[in-house]
Amino acid sequence: MKHKVITTRWVLATLVAGLLVVLSGCGKTPTVAADQQTGSTGADSPSGSPAVDYVLPPDPRGIATARVEARPLPDYLEIAARIEADPTRVVHVFAPVSGRLISVTVRPSDHVSQGQTLAVLASSDVAAARAAYRQAVADHGVKKKALARAEDLYRHSAIAAKDYQQAQADSQSSAATLESALERLQFLNAEPEGSSDQIKVLAPRAGVVIDLGAAAGEFSKSLDSSSPLCTLADLSTVWALGDVYEKDLAGVRIGEAADVRINAYSGATWRGRVAAISDTVDPNTRTLKIRVVLPNLSERLKPEMFGAIRLLRSTQLGVAAPATAVLREGAAAYIFVQRAPGHFERRAVTLGRTLDRDRVEVVSGLRPGDTILTQGAGLLQATASDPQKGG
């Protein structure tokens, strides 16, 4: 009886031990399978499925990589702007007298030098001014001779002092009249001894003809005309004008460096400084005018061009990637990130600000130290292998 009890206990112990071994083996099988599925890198797609492996082709030409680093990223204030000529360097040229235009010798966009002839005008005012000058010359000659006689008579006590003083006053008056008549001819750019009724309208300063308001054959009404013969501008320095909102005014200061980009010249930047901020707010737009003075010796900047003024507000530490590294599919953005040497995965990223024309801020999806593909995404996508299919 005792022997049967011992045998029964031994059989039960053997069965329990065998069952434990089976259960232990069954517990390990899923873990091994999972490890084989995820692979040695442990990189999974957002859905939990294994990431597609992209392998560098045998010929890596056309493919470039870069290492991601955290660095200070600028925060810019962008303001729409337009180019204007400096008003202090713009001259509206009017005819000095009324008359008929014989010829106009300049055209819009012509460069002129100071003193260059802009137009030729025929006017009766020239003849009148020349006649007044000749009359003044004759009158002054008579008054000078009268003064000489009066001086001789007064020296010999032949006339009273008041008569001599009157002769002096008459001579001085005639001299002033003569000087005024000569200045009038000089203002008209007419020769005192000439006989023509034509005068030349000269450029008061060097510049570019930005507007032409007259043509040969027209009658000019002199300075009371509302339309000038032409308008000259010195474009060696121009203004970039922009409207800044009240909420952004705290980030704008006079004397601050500013970059100006023009829509017509992609990639080109002009550097200037904020020269002025208006003292009043536009009640309709709630904006203030700012002015940036720009050098324009090449005259590439033309009045009424559109562009943008960019001011640096602050800097903050962040991650940026070249724009060529970003792939877009609808609203989603992706970047190829290296998993192992020669192996990449396509990772979804969240983009932030565009920092410049070739860099973009990456808010999430990249970490400092990651190696990313910057060129050759098309070549790399052709090498994709799906771990689920054993590729």
Strand partners, 254: none
What is the rounded distance in angstroms from the CA atom of residue 360 to the CA atom of residue 372?
14
pLDDT digits (tens, 9 = 90+) for 358-388: 888 898 889 898 999 888 877 777 766 644 4
| pLDDT tens digit sequence for 187-230 | 888 888 877 888 889 999 999 999 998 888 888 776 665 688 99
d(CA 148, CA 159): 13
Report yes or no: 341 and 294 within 8 Å, Cβ to Cβ.
Answer: no
Alpha helices in 156-276 (DSSP H): 161-187
318/312 Cα distance (integer angstroms)? 16
Residue limits of CATH 2.40.30.170 in the chain: 77-87+234-315
∠ CA 343-346-348, nearest 5°, is 150
> What is the second-level CATH architecture of the domain 53-73+316-389?
Beta Barrel (2.40)
The CATH number of the domain covering residues in 124-196:
1.10.287
**Fold entry, domain 77-87+234-315:** Elongation Factor Tu (Ef-tu); domain 3 (2.40.30)
Q: For CATH 2.40.420.20, list the domain ranges present in the chain.
A: 53-73+316-389
Asked if the model's pLDDT at residue 264 lies above 70, the reply is: yes
Comparing 22-26, 48-52, 344-348, which segment has the lowest mean pLDDT?
22-26
**18 pLDDT exceeds 80?**
no
Cα dihedral sign, 81-84-86-87? negative
Residue 300 has pLDDT above 50, yes or no: yes
Q: Where in the chain is the domain with CATH 2.40.50.100?
A: 94-121+199-231
Least trusted range by pLDDT, from 55-59, 122-126, 278-282, 293-297? 55-59
Within 8 A by CB and 6+ apart from 108, the residues are 209, 210, 211, 212
CB half-sphere exposure, 197, CA atoms < 13 A: 13
pLDDT value for 6: 41
Q: How confident is the model at residue 112 (pLDDT cuts 50, 70, 90)?
A: very high
In the predicted structure, residue 151 carries a pLDDT above the cut 50 = yes
> Each residue of 46-82: pLDDT tens digit?
444 456 888 887 777 788 888 988 888 887 889 999 9
Query: Token pair of 376, please?
Result: 């050759």
Would you state the CATH architecture of domain 94-121+199-231? Beta Barrel (2.40)
Of 224, 232, 228, 222, nearest to 121 by C-alpha is 222
